[in-house]
Amino acid sequence: MNPTSMTAPMDPANMIHAANAFFLIQGLILVAFFSYLAVRMWLKSRVREKEAYFKNEAIKKIAESPDGAAAVLQYMREEKTFAEKQRREKLRLGGVVITAAGFGLTICLFAFERAEHDPDPNYLVGLILLLIGAAVLTYTYWLAPKE
Q: Is residue 5 part of a domain?
A: no
- Tell whether 51 and 111 lie within a shared domain: no
Q: Is residue 10 part of a domain?
A: no
- Tell whether 50 and 101 lie within a shared domain: no
Q: Is residue 125 part of a domain?
A: yes
pTM: 0.55
Consecutive sets of 10 residues in the chain, 147 residues long: mean pLDDT of each?
Answer: 56 71 92 96 97 90 84 88 89 88 83 68 79 86 74
Q: How many domains does the chain have?
A: 2
pLDDT given at position 30: 95
- Tell whether 87 and 131 lie within a shared domain: yes
State the Cα–Cα distance between residues 18 and 10, nearest whole angstrom.
11
Q: Is residue 3 part of a domain?
A: no
Sign of the Cα torsion 43, 49, 53, 55 reads positive
pLDDT given at position 35: 97
Q: Is residue 59 part of a domain?
A: yes
- Tell whether 87 and 126 lie within a shared domain: yes
pLDDT given at position 32: 96
Three-point CA angle 87, 77, 144, nearest 5°: 35
- Tell whether 90 and 143 lie within a shared domain: yes
pLDDT given at position 52: 93
State the Cα–Cα distance between residues 54 and 56, nearest whole angstrom.
5
State the Cα–Cα distance between residues 60 and 26, nearest whole angstrom.
51
Three-point CA angle 78, 82, 84, nearest 5°: 120
Q: Is residue 41 part of a domain?
A: yes
Q: Is residue 40 part of a domain?
A: yes
- Tell whether 94 and 44 lie within a shared domain: no
Q: Is residue 4 part of a domain?
A: no
- Tell whether 86 and 138 lie within a shared domain: yes
pLDDT given at position 44: 96
In terms of residue numbers, what domain contains 35? 15-64
- Tell whether 59 and 84 lie within a shared domain: no
- Tell whether 56 and 108 lie within a shared domain: no
